[in-house]
Structure 1
Amino acid sequence: MYSKWDKWLFTQVDNTALVLFRMIFGLLIACEAFGSIALGAVRRLFIEPDFTFTFIGFEFLEPLPGNWMYVLYSIMGIAGLMVMVGYKYRMAIIFYAISWAYVYLLQKSSYNNHCYLLMLLNFIMIFLPANRSTSIDARLDDSYRKEHMSRWIYAFIITFIWIVYAYASIAKFYPDWLDGSFAKYLMSTRGKSFEILQHDWSHQAILYFGLFFDLLIVPFLLWKKTRWIAIIASIFFHIFNSIVFQIGIFPYLALSFLLFFFSTEVLHKRLIWKKAYYAAAEVIVPKTKPVILFCTVTFLITMFLLPLRHWVIKDDVLWTEEGHRLSWRMMLRSRSGYGTFYVVDKENGKKMPVHVNQYLSKKQQRSVQSKPDFIWQFAQKLEEIYAEEGKEIEVYADIKVSINGRPRKQLTDPTVDLTQEEWSHFKHHSWIMPSSLYEEKQLD
């Protein structure tokens, strides 16, 4: 006899949603790879810079020499198409997952949560039976074909999506979002081509729609009475983001998640009617059940806990950025900075300003003059460069930063030698000056 949980988790359901998601996902990751070549992202991020800013702890990663990064992205694009049609699926998705993790960890100058989400989805898709139907793999080997999957896959994907959206909403509960000032500032950067977005009513609409969409979208999709409202809202929300912010494949990837909320009968009838439909509802508990449960629960708990870590780190994450990444803090703030790095020759005590444009691309410069981890990494890089010339130096950074269009405030302590500082992912760094973001509001 099966337990209640076994019956719920391992009842077999039709796999049309997963099959369709595989097709869309494969097409989108192929577009991401080929588009990165065509739009110049590979050149800007890996070919032109003298070095890249890796995620801290992955400094051993280096771009492939010469033009080989173009070759890598080309093969990634082909692998994406193989995922789409389900040919040599496992090999293709493993290759893409490892390659994307490599390029993701190799540079963070163009970091956003969408890239992080894509990395996680790549690895998740390795373990899902997404090519068992409507694929070249299944056509070549009929014994491999299956028209069903375990219900736990639905539960896992929906829970993961819910975590992402929920934290995106929770992060918006901060003063600049709630008073509409960030929406106003963000829309002001869109220019005259989006004149309708420059009105106060549009800022208020963005404020509330953005907040409640992320908070309620998954519950509304799960409840049949509100599902179509949520679907229409999703289409509007993500197409709006695609047009206004031009954020690549992510809006369309987000829309593809809707497949897991539709009835499998509807999806089958409307989209893949030639596929055999499964309705037997057998209970098949695999021998790997303990491994499946351990891995899925561990992953979901990690996804739940990671975004909370900034609460145990001193000061405001909006200012320090400590705990900002890997936390689904999306479209939440704008940072810009300006300042100077100084090196002091330990032998003669001579202090010299650093011309960052001699070392960094324009995109890298924007991050190095506004984000603490980039500032720290650049100091370490300067120490390495001077060490190769046989010189021992100290590095100081005098950086002022503006958050959401505010006047610049001092971010770094200019008296601290950053070459002597260690970096930690889970604690505050004392050379980051205390936040004073809301002092002017409190005085008012």
Structure 2
Amino acid sequence: MNKFLFKHIDNSALIVFRILFGALIFLESVGAIFTGWLRRTLIEPQFTFNFIGFDWLQPLPGQWMYVYYVIMGLFGIGVMLGYKYKMSMLGFTLLWAGTYFMQKSSYNNHYYFLMILNAIMCILPAHRYASLDAKFNPKIKSISMPNWCRWIFIIQLFILYSYASIAKMYPDWLDLSVPELLMKAKKHYALIGNLLQHKFMHYLIAYGGILFDGLIIPLLLWKRTRKIAFFASIFFHLFNSIVFQVGIFPYLSLAFAVFFFEPKVIKGLFLKQKPLYTDNKIDVPGYASVFKVVFVLYFIIQIVLPLRHHVIADDVLWTEEGHRMSWRMMLRSKRGKTSFKVVDKATNNVTEIRLSEYLTRKQIRAVSAKPDFMWQFAKRLKQIYAEKGIDIKVYVSAYISVNGKPSKQLIDPEVDLANEEWNHFKHHDWILPSNRDENN
């Protein structure tokens, strides 16, 4: 294991990746401002639906979130240039984690992946060549890195893509129900909107997605298929970028290709003046034992965490319990019709809540379909009324359609949701079973 982890290899791939990564996180930061995502997601809402347990974490007031994102962008430039790299990378990591945990209305697995990747980049020696840090402090300059610096990316990507492939192997994906619904929402796209409605495209998305996710890492690792796999990656990720508009993730995925090609190729393309390291020296650090334990435990967690929904009752597509942080990407389409009723405990007066008075359109869509959002909003209503000196109960009527199927009641309408507790690893009995025959 020492030989595998601590053998030194050429670091051209890591240096090039750092530059690309810094540029992409800069674009992610300023893109959130100029596309209006930041305004819609973190400034306009009265409050955000943070990850449960992070209730104290809310956006900065007024226009200060713009400053927050500008600082993130500056950290991205610092990473790209290798200027005070450790500080820049840590700063971006903390700020990104903040914006990740303070809202989940715009959640996707790509945001989670970027948070993981940020943490990994913090511990990598990515600034030891072609950086301002190495220019100002030549003592840190190096043309090699431990082998684990490469394999930590490859193993993480293999886990991500493997789970993404396996998750698609369920009836609604295989019979094209989900791809058809996803593409129907893209019908208005100029030039390609009609093309996306063809059955051939639905088959390509459904079965091409399974094959790509399941095979791409092995094919990139095998020299004989590497170039073909890379060109397939270009098509796949550009398609996702255009059709699904998932920010920097497709381009970040392409940037990882530098870890699969020979260092000589990467050096020749991007770092022509850099010497090629070929000594393959094994340098076992004093902290090797601790590092190996952490390395193994980290990947055990990454393997186990996406499996947790299997030990939670009912279907994750219905309950959403165990959905996040599990590489379950674009697997379902949900529509909901949900209403909240507040009952004054002292007078029994009933008030029907108008969601638009409290929530943005994006938040309403989430509250109308996802149980944890409903629970959080019930708690929020209880807090709002408590500030007025009124103790209330909150009842929810929610009918949900998953993947175009007939609607069913999701929440027990007799349960005071504001009085329930949340458990991250346990099924909540107030979420009604998915196999109920009741239709609406």
1:80 aligns with 2:76: yes
The answer to whether 1:51 aligns with 2:47 is yes
2:398 corresponds to: 399
Aligned counterparts, 1:272-291, within 5 A: 272-291=271-290
Structure 1: gaps spanning 5 or more residues:
none
* 1:64-143 equivalences in 2 (<5 Å): 64-143=60-139
SS of residue paired to 2:194:
helix
Which of residues 4, 7, 15 is equivalent to 2:3?
Answer: 7
Residues 307-360 of structure 1: per-residue CA shift (max 9 Å, x gap): 000000000001100000000001111112112100000011112211111011
Question: How far off is 1:267 after superposition?
Answer: 0.6
> Is 1:410 matched with 2:406?
no
Tell me the equivalent position of 1:356. 355
2:187 and 2:196 in contact (8 A); partners too: no
Once the two structures are TM-superposed, the CA of residue 7 in structure 1 deviates from its matched residue by 2.1
1:29 counterpart (25, 28, 34): 25
Distance 1:268 1:439, change over 3 A: farther
Shift of 1:405: 2.2
Number of the residue aligned with 1:419? 418
Name the SS for the 1:399 alignment partner: strand
Residue 63 (1) aligns with residue 62 (2): no
Matched AA of 1:401? I
Residue deviations 1:70-120 (CA, integer Å, cap 9, x gap)? 111001101101100100000000000000000100011100000000011
1:8 CA drift (Å) = 2.5
The offset of 1:43, in angstroms, is 1.3
SS in structure 2 at match of 1:219: helix
Q: Tell me how far 1:230 sits from its aligned partner.
A: 1.1
SS in 2 for 1:344: strand
Contact 2:409 2:438 (8 Å CA) reproduced: no
Please report how far the alpha carbon of residue 306 of structure 1 lies from its aligned counterpart in structure 2 after TM superposition: 0.4
Provide, for residues 199-221 of structure 1, a one-character-per-residue CA deviation record: whole Å limited to 9, x for no partner. 11221111110011101111111
Of the structure 1 ranges 379-388 and 413-422, higher mean CA displacement relative to structure 2 is found in 413-422
Letter in 2 for 1:420: N
Gaps of 5+ in 2: none
Shift, 1:408, TM fit: 2.0
Structure 1: distance between partners of 2:7 and 2:274: 20
| Structure 2 residue aligned with 1:154 | 150
Aligned length: 436
| Secondary structure of the corresponding residue to residue 400 of structure 1 | strand
Structure 1 176/422 Cα, relative in aligned 2: closer, same or farther at 3 Å? same
Specify the alignment match of 1:377 in structure 2: 376
| 1:206 counterpart residue number | 205
Q: Deviation string for 1:279-308 (max 9, x for gaps)?
A: 111111111212221222111111100000
SS in 2 for 1:60: coil
In 2: Cα distance, 1:77 partner to 1:42 partner: 13
Q: Please report how far the alpha carbon of residue 156 of structure 1 lies from its aligned counterpart in structure 2 after TM superposition.
A: 1.6
Specify the code of the residue in structure 1 equivalent to 2:259: F
Distance 1:281 1:437, change over 3 A: farther
Deviation at 1:439, TM superposition (A): 10
For residues 38 and 149 of structure 2, the distance between their equivalents in structure 1, rounded to whole angstroms, comes to 34
Closer, same or farther in 2 for the Cα pair 1:343/1:439, shift >3 Å? Answer: closer
* DSSP 3-state at the match of 1:398: strand
Deviation at 1:276, TM superposition (A): 2.1
Q: Tell me if 1:262 matches 2:258.
A: no
Letter in 1 for 2:212: F
> What is the RMSD of the two structures over their aligned residues, measured on CA atoms?
1.3
User: Would you say 1:318 and 2:317 are equivalent positions?
Assistant: yes
- Pairwise CA distance, 1:155: 1.8
CA deviations over 1:155-186 (Å, ceiling 9, x no partner): 22111110000000111111101111111111
Q: In 2, Cα distance between the equivalents of 1:212 and 1:437?
A: 34
| Matching residue's letter, 2:18 | R
Within a 5 Å distance, the mapping from 1:159-174 to structure 2 comes to 159-174=155-170
How many Å apart are 1:438 and its aligned residue?
Answer: 10
Query: Normalization by structure 2: what TM-score?
Result: 0.97
* Equivalence for 2:34: 38
Letter in 1 for 2:380: K
After TM superposition, give the deviation of residue 437 of structure 1 in Å.
8.6
Q: Is the partner of 2:275 in helix, strand or coil?
A: coil
Partner of 1:182: 178
SS at match of 2:374: helix
Q: Percent identity?
A: 52
Q: Give the deviation of 1:409 after TM superposition.
A: 1.6
Moved more, 78-87 or 405-414: 405-414
Letter in 1 for 2:129: S
Q: 1:136 to 1:438 in 2, by over 3 A?
A: farther
Distance 2:438 2:14 in 1: 50
| Pairing 1:226-241 to 2, within 5 Å after superposition | 226-241=225-240
Q: What secondary structure does 1:149 align onto?
A: strand
Which residue pairs with 1:248 in the alignment?
247
Give distance in 2, aligned partners of 1:394 and 1:105. 27
Mapped to 2, the partners of 1:390 and 1:112 lie a distance apart of 38
Equivalent residue of 2:242, what SS?
Answer: helix
Distance 2:409 2:255 in 1: 43
